[in-house]
Amino acid sequence: MNRGKKNVVKNSGPFHLWTYGRGLVRGYVLSLFLFLIFGIIITYTKVGEGLIPLVTTLVMILGVVYGSIYTVAHIGTKGWLHGAFVGLIYIFLLVILSKMFLTGYTLDRFVGYRMLISMAAGSIGGMIGINIK
């Protein structure tokens, strides 16, 4: 029995593209699910719309952390670095989609803050993912 050995992806290339992709998809799916739940809560309760910025930040953090945990648990090395990279890709793809589909979307300091938050959350998720056995 191999109890102490991690399930690490082998021969996935130097950049682990498939592993990153699966982690990002899992993070986005979790985010969409959480946004759906919050949308239902806002629609059918008296929760104010003033919570939307806080909830979007929390959902982003949870999505990045989950995607980073999955990715780093399968890569098995350099957890903080791979996690931060997952966080950066996560927010970068959201910025690209926002620029494509939203008119008047501008890159401001809040986007920079979200990039820093997502990289920090990804690093923390990567540290958690590297220690999961």
Answer yes or no: is 73 within a domain: yes
pLDDT in tens, 1-13: 455 555 555 545 6
**Domains in the chain, number:** 1
pLDDT in tens, 44-90: 988 888 888 999 999 999 999 999 999 999 988 888 999 999 999 99
Q: What are phi and psi of 11, to 5 degrees?
A: 55, 40
Answer yes or no: is 106 within a domain: yes
CA count, 13 A, side-chain hemisphere, 129: 31
Range of the domain at 104: 17-131
Q: With beta carbons less than 8 A apart as the criterion, state whether 78 and 12 touch.
A: no
Answer yes or no: is 103 within a domain: yes
pLDDT at 50: 87
Answer yes or no: is 3 within a domain: no
CA count, 13 A, side-chain hemisphere, 77: 5
Answer yes or no: is 6 within a domain: no
Region 87-97: what's the mean pLDDT?
94
Where b means 16+ CB within 10 Å and e means fewer, 84-105 reads bbbbbbbbeebeeeeeeeeeee
Q: What percentage of the chain reaches a pLDDT higher than 90?
A: 65
Answer yes or no: is 1 within a domain: no
List Cβ neighbours of 76 (8 Å cut-off, separation of 6 or more).
6, 8, 9, 130
Average pLDDT, the chain: 88
Answer yes or no: is 125 within a domain: yes
Question: Tokens 């958690």 label which residue?
Answer: 128
Whole-prediction pTM value? 0.84
